[in-house]
Structure formats: C-alpha cells, structure tokens
C-alpha cells in the first residue's frame, strides 16, 4: 500500500510479492479486507502504543467521499501529533453522514478503555459536534472541551452573535464570567476569521490556551488530505460495505502512521528544506514514505534498522529522537 500509494486492488496487486498471477494477488488483497481479526480493538492497540508520553490533544471530525452515487462518511477521533492527527478510532456513518451523538459517545467510550481520561489534554471539535447530551457526557467522562459553537446557540439568554457582534478580526474576546452553553457552565471566547466569519468557542480552558489548542483542530484536515489524493488515494476504493471500509481505513491509518513516524525521525537528522512561502518542500508523511519505499524496494538489508524506528512511540514535539537508522 505504501509503495503503490493507493488502496485500489489492481494497484496493490502490482506491488505484492510472489509469482502468482495479478488476478490471484488481487483476490489475496480482497481477502485481507474480509479478515474479521482486523477489528477495532486490533487497530486501537497498535495505534495507542505509538502516542508520545504524557497528555495528548484529541480531535474529532468527519471525512467523506462518494463511490458512484453512494456517499461514504467516516467519523474519526484521533490524537494531534507533529502537525497531523493520528486516527485512533473511527466508524462509518449512514448515508446521511449525520454524526449522531451516540456514535460520538461510542467512539469516546471505546477509546477510553485504551487511553484513560487522565491522558487526554482535551477535545477540540467543530460546530457540527455540539448538543446538551454530548457536552454533559464529555464533562462526566472528565474530558476538557474546546468546541466551536454556532452563532445562533444560546449563551445564557442571548445567542452568540448578539454577544460578540462587535468583535473584529485580530481581536479576541471572552465572556467576563462563565455562562451556560447547552446546559453546561463554560467559558466562551470569540474572534473573527480573516474572511469575517465569527468564530465562537465554548471551552474549559483559558482564552489564550483555547486558541492555541483550537488551531490544532486543522491538523485532522491535513491527515484526511494525505489519506486521499495526496497520499493513499482512499477515494479510489470500490468498497461500500461498512465492515470492510472500517478495516480499509485501519490499514491506511497504519501505513500512514509508519510514514509519518519515519518522516519525523528523518526530519530531525536531515531537515526538510523550507521554501520561500515558508512551507516545507514535502510533508513529513511524504518524506517518510519516500524513504520507506526506498528501504523496502532497494535496501532490504537496512529495513530492520528502519523497523526499529517504526516500532518506537512518537517523541513529544521538540524532543530529540534517539539515533537508530544509519543510512
């Protein structure tokens, strides 16, 4: 999958070892996605051990694409690591794509079994993920919140637009004291985006920390982008059956995580050039994928050294990596 940069079975079969026919290899790939051993518990166990030590920020979002006329939607909960969000648990949604409150609760409760609340720095999410039952549930689980709300949502007895209509771009305002938001007593902070959109966040953090954390919510969009056309071409899958899609998403997540893990290590040894616009020439994921494919295809004698990096947990941002790989 990493070498093919695709999830399409025809593409995968061309990169599979062995002397069997392409058709036989395609059937082998198909059987992999039917393997019931590849359940959510399997993926969570492999992913959680790669998290950096200490507390991690969790991000919740939805991604979607279409196969023909069939809409495919995933609700994804993951941890922010090195500018991306590492998916930890996910569930396919129905065709409407509505992220029902109980689907969110299921994700959180299942993840809490492997990652207790004391390791959650907090949860950031967009205004799609709101509601009294949801906010109350997070508080009862001991999870701090920084969740964007709508302009029309009530803060005490006035809506958000009435509270913050005067806010200008570049300025940050907060309520002088906590107010009731969906029945929960919370701080509320607001600003305007460069396009003039009013951004209101209900939070359990200070105003300064809220903005610092909420900006990291966009890291999950970087992940989704590198799952799709910029990475593994997830949208080219012909699968629509929910259990097979769930396994596919898990295998893509593992492949993607290994690319990011190697990319993070390499960037500390051989920094990625920064272009004039201030961005890296390639992403950490692409950087890792290039070297991982090179080791798999042309340097098998060095792959075991690469593997030593891949099985290590991510280091906290800014921490020095241990030196393992020698090529």
The DSSP bridge partners found for residue 62 are: 75
pLDDT per position as a tens digit, 9-28: 778 877 787 888 888 888 88
Polymer length of the chain: 327
Q: What is the DSSP letter of 230?
A: T
Is the model's pLDDT at 325 over the cut of 80? no
Helix (H, G, I), strand (E, B) or coil at 217: helix
147 within 8 A of 128, measured Cβ to Cβ: no
Task: Among 68-72, 121-125, 206-210, name the one with the lowest average pLDDT.
Answer: 68-72
Is the model's pLDDT at 116 over the cut of 90? yes
Here the contacts of 288-291 (C-beta below 8 Å, separation 24 or greater) are 288/258, 288/259, 288/260, 288/261, 288/262, 288/263, 288/264, 289/2, 289/5, 289/231, 289/259, 289/262, 289/263, 291/262, 291/263, 291/266
Q: For residue 139, give Cα distances in angstroms to 57, 123, 133, 195, 274.
A: 16, 11, 10, 33, 41
pLDDT per position as a tens digit, 62-114: 998 887 778 889 999 999 999 999 999 999 988 665 668 999 999 999 999 99
Distance CA 220, CA 228 (A): 13
Name the residue ranges covered by the structural domains of the chain. Answer: 40-221
The topology (CATH level 3) of 40-221 is Transposase Inhibitor Protein From Tn5; Chain A, domain 1 (3.90.350)
The DSSP bridge partners found for residue 186 are: 179
213 within 8 A of 122, measured Cβ to Cβ: yes
Positive or negative, the CA dihedral 202, 205, 211, 213 is negative
What burial class does residue 170 get, using C-beta atoms within 10 Å of its C-beta: 0-12 exposed, 13-18 middle, 19+ buried? Answer: exposed
Question: What are 261's two structure tokens?
Answer: 């893990």
Distance CA 103, CA 314 (A): 28
Q: For residue 254, give Cα distances in angstroms to 45, 84, 305.
A: 11, 14, 19
Best CA proximity match to 164, nearest among 212, 129, 198: 198
Is the model's pLDDT at 327 over the cut of 70? no
Question: What are 79's two structure tokens?
Answer: 């941890």
- Residue 247: CA atoms inside 13 Å, Cβ hemisphere, count? 16
Distance CA 31, CA 77 (A): 27
- Confidence band of 321 (pLDDT split at 50, 70, 90): low
How confident is the model over 236-241, as a mean pLDDT?
84
Task: Among 34-38, 125-129, 131-135, 201-205, name the one with the lowest average pLDDT.
Answer: 34-38
Best CA proximity match to 3, nearest among 20, 15, 18, 13: 15
How confident is the model over 29-37, as a mean pLDDT?
87
Question: What pLDDT shows up at residue 28?
Answer: 85
263 within 8 A of 289, measured Cβ to Cβ: yes
How confident is the model over 103-132, as a mean pLDDT?
97
Question: What pLDDT shows up at residue 301?
Answer: 79
């Amino acid at each position: 999958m990493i070498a093919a940069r695709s999830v399409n079975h025809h593409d995968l079969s061309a990169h599979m070892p062995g002397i069997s026919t392409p058709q036989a290899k395609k059937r082998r790939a198909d059987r992999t996605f039917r393997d019931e051993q590849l359940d959510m518990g399997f993926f969570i166990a492999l992913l959680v051990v790669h998290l950096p030590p200490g507390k991690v920020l969790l991000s919740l979002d939805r991604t979607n694409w279409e196969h023909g006329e069939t809409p495919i939607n995933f609700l994804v909960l993951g941890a922010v690591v090195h500018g991306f969000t590492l998916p930890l648990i996910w569930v396919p949604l129905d065709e409407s794509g509505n992220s029902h409150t109980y689907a969110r609760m299921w994700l959180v409760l299942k993840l809490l079994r492997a990652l207790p609340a004391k390791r959650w720095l907090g949860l950031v999410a967009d205004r799609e993920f709101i509601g009294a039952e949801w906010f109350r549930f997070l508080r009862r689980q001991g999870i701090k919140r920084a969740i964007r709300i709508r302009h029309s949502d009530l803060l005490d007895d006035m809506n958000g637009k009435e509270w913050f209509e005067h806010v200008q771009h570049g300025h940050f305002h907060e309520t002088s004291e906590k107010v009731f938001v969906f029945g929960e007593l919370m701080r509320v902070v607001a600003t305007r985006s460069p396009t003039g959109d009013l951004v209101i966040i209900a939070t359990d953090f200070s105003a300064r920390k809220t903005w610092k954390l909420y900006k990291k919510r966009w890291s999950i969009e970087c992940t989704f982008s590198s799952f799709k056309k910029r990475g593994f071409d997830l949208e080219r899958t012909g699968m629509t059956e929910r259990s097979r899609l769930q396994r596919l998403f898990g295998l893509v997540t593992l492949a993607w995580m290994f690319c990011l893990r190697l990319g993070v290590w390499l960037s500390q040894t051989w920094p990625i050039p920064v272009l004039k616009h201030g961005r890296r020439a390639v992403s950490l994921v692409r950087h890792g994928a290039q070297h991982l494919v090179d080791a798999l295809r042309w340097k098998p004698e060095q792959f075991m050294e690469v593997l030593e990096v891949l099985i290590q947990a991510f280091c906290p941002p800014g921490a020095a990596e241990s030196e393992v790989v020698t090529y």
